Amino acid sequence: MASAYDKVQGNVPPAPDRQAVWIRSNRHGGAVVNSPYSGDEADAEASSRPTIRPAQRRHVTPPSDDSTSSRPDPASYSQPLPSRRELRQREAAAATGAPTAVYSDAPPIRQDSAVGSAAGHPYNRGHEHNSGHEHGGGHLGAGGDIGRAHAGDGGRGDRPRGRGPVEREPLGPVRGTIRTFGELCITAGLVLILFVVWQLWWTDLAANRDNEVLADELAQDWQNQDPNELPEDPDEPVVADPVGKNEAFGIFYIPRFGGDYYRTVAEGVDLEPVLNRMGLGRYPNSAMPGDVGNFSIAGHRVTYGKPLNQIAELRPGDEIVVQTKDGFYTYTFRNFDIILPDAIEVLAPVPDMPDSKGKDRILTMTACNPMFSARERYVAYAELTDWTPANEGAPGSIKDSEAYKKVSKKGGA
C-alpha cells in the first residue's frame, strides 16, 4: 500500500478504476476522500486507515542529503494529504494545461541542495519528477534556486521574447516616386502659405510703419521751412514746388477712408521705394498740387499698406485733402471710371482729351481693379474746390481728425 507521501509526489501508478466512492465515517466525524476501491473493500480500507481531518498546514524539514536510509520514513511527516477541494483545483488546472499552484502541503526544497547532487536519493528523484526539465512547468516547494528562477513567470517555462525591430520593405521605384512627390507638394504648400501671410499681412505692417516715420519727418521739415509767398489773389492757390525723384512732398487725408487715414505722397510711381514703402506716387510730368492741369497719383489697393484700398467707396462730394508746406488743397470727388492698364489718356491735362490744354485743376487717382488683380485700373476723378494757406490751419474736414492731430504733433500746421 502506497504511503501518503508517495501519493503526493506522484510515485504510485494510477488506479485502474477512476470510480469515486464516498466514504463516510460515523466514527471519526465524516471526512470524505476519493478512493479507487468500491463496495466492501472501500469500507474495509476506510476502517484500517486513519481519518483525514482538515488541519493547519505545516512545513516539515525533509531529511538531509546525507541520510543513509533508502526512503524517508512517512511516519516522520505529520503532514496530512491535500483536501478534496485542492485536488479538484489541481486536476482542473492539469486538464486545461495551466500551471498548477504551489502545493502548500508538500515538504519544502532545501536551499542548500543542488539539482545535480544525490541524484539517486528518493527525495531528489521525486523533486526531479515534479519539477520537470530546467524550464518546465510548476514546481513544488517555496524555496530553492529553481523555484526562484521560475517564480517570475509562474512556472510557465520560457516565454518568447519581444520581437525585435521589423525591417521595412523597400518602397520600390513607383512608391518611392509617389512618396517624394507628396513630400514636395507638402513643402510647396507650406511655402505658399508663408508667402501669402507675408504678402497680405506683413507687408501692410512694414509699409504703415514706414509711412508713419516718413510723415513725421516731413512734418518736421515743414516746420523748419518758410512757405512760398502767397499770391495777390487770395483765391489763387500756391503751386507746390517740384521735388526730386523718390522724394516725399505731401500728405493725403481722405475722411471717407477713416478718421485715422493719412498717407504720404512722393515723386514717381516705381514700386521701390515709392509705392511699396512711401505710400502714394505722383506720375511724372503731371501737375503739382494746386496747379492747372491733372495732378495724377497711383497707389496699391491691396498689400504694402494698401493706401487706395477703399477707392471704390468714394461718393460724389467726398473731400480729399492734400497737405504741403504751403497749405491744404481740398479736392472734391466727382466720378470714377474703369479702364485698361494701357489707357494712359486719363493722365492728360484733360482726362480722355489728350489734345486739350484745359483750365481746371484736376486730381486723378488710379489703382488696380479688381482687388488682387492688375487686369484693369480703377480711376477716381476729383476737382480742386478750396485751398487754405498753412498759416490759417487745417480745413474743418480734417482739423479734428485723429490723423491730422497725430501729424501736427510732429510740427505740422
Instruction: Dump pLDDT digits (tens) for 361-378.
Output: 999 999 999 998 999 999
End residue of a domain, out of 121, 137, 158: 158
By CB atoms closer than 10 A (0-12, 13-18, 19+), residue 134 is exposed
Whether 7 is in a domain gets the answer yes
End residue of a domain, out of 158, 180, 196: 158
Same domain as 380, residue 231 = yes
Whether 163 is in a domain gets the answer no
CA 181 to CA 173: how far, in whole Å?
12
The domain of 55 spans 1-158
Whether 232 is in a domain gets the answer yes
Read off the pLDDT of residues 39-59 as tens digits, 9 standing for 90 and up: 454 454 445 555 555 544 554
Q: Which three cell numbers stand for residue 374?
A: 492688375
Same domain as 313, residue 215 = yes
Considering its fold, how many domains does the chain have in total? 2
End residue of a domain, out of 90, 125, 158: 158
pLDDT at 199: 77
Same domain as 80, residue 7 = yes
Query: Rounded to two decimals, what is the model's pTM?
Result: 0.57
Whether 294 is in a domain gets the answer yes
Q: What's the mean per-residue pLDDT of the chain? A: 75
Rg (CA), the chain: 54
pLDDT at residue 115 above 90?
no
Read off the pLDDT of residues 236-294 as tens digits, 9 standing for 90 and up: 899 988 999 999 999 999 999 999 999 999 999 999 999 999 999 999 999 999 999 99
Same domain as 154, residue 256 = no
Whether 231 is in a domain gets the answer yes
Same domain as 349, residue 214 = yes
Whether 186 is in a domain gets the answer no
Whether 3 is in a domain gets the answer yes
Whether 189 is in a domain gets the answer no
Same domain as 270, residue 140 = no
Same domain as 386, residue 239 = yes
